[in-house]
Copies of this chain bind each other. A is one copy, B any other.
Amino acid sequence: MSTEQGMRLRADAQRNRDQIIAAAKRAFLHGGTDQPMEEIARLAGVGIGTLYRRFPDREALVRAVAQDNFGALADEARAALAEEETSWDALVRLLGRSTDLRLSLRLSLLSPAAWHAIHDDPEIVRHRTEILELLDEIVRGAQAEGALRADVGTGDIAVLGSLLLRPGPGRDEMLARAMAVILDGLRAAPGTALPGHAVGLQDMITSLKT
């Protein structure tokens, strides 16, 4: 949360920095990364000057939020894998409960402005790679358990996850039902063959770079 280069911030400055990131998370989640800087400052309860001293421009802020968020998501994926009984449960947990996942998707997919900030930063790329590898492990595990149908790949799961997590309307209860339907579709014993071939981890990574 406070990974900074060198200098240690004064207590109030550190507090403000955290508040700014938290506010930016909320703002980005709600309205995308081109939300006015002033609005983010307002949400954080700090002046616009404070925001700009800490983050010289929008890209720096986006990058900081992305670091924070992809890191949290990697933690969550690791926790799901470690704590859940089965890989299938880990998958369900990851698809269903993750706010961090939601924001990460917005960041990586929905905002052209955020693209560079994210793809240029090695730490973020590392986190993203780890996340995908963990997801891959979970997917393979769930298939080995016989819980997850064998003809889907990690990329397919990522796509389905992204569908559930995109911003939009629909109350949570409705989304929970939609997820249950999707999970039924993901269980072993497919009704029909899927078109094309499974989208694997590598395909997904490749497609992210496009």
Contact = CB atoms under 8 A, between A and B. Distances in A.
Interface residues of A, number: 37
Given A182-B185, A185-B182, A190-B184, A196 B168 contact: no
Contact of A199 (B110, B166, B177, B190): B177
B195 A184 contact: no
As for how many copies of this chain the complex holds, the number is 2
Interface in A68-116: 109-110
Interface in A150-187: 152, 155-156, 159-160, 162-164, 166, 168-171, 173-178, 180-187
B192 A180 contact: yes
Contacts of A207: 169-171, 174
Given A110-B168, A166-B166, A173-B195, A160 B181 contact: yes
Given A166-B168, A170-B162, A185-B186, A177 B156 contact: yes
A191 B183 CA distance: 9
Given A109-B168, A109-B169, A168-B162, A185 B177 contact: no
A103 to B, nearest CB: 15
A185 B196 contact: no
**Interface pairs A-B: 5 shortest CB-CB:** A185-B185, A184-B185, A181-B185, A184-B191, A163-B163
20 contacts: A152-B177, A156-B174, A156-B177, A156-B178, A159-B170, A159-B175, A159-B178, A160-B178, A162-B170, A163-B178, A166-B166, A166-B168, A169-B207, A181-B182, A182-B185, A183-B185, A183-B191, A184-B191, A185-B185, A187-B191
Interface of A: 109-110, 152, 155-156, 159-160, 162-164, 166, 168-171, 173-178, 180-187, 190-192, 194-196, 199, 207
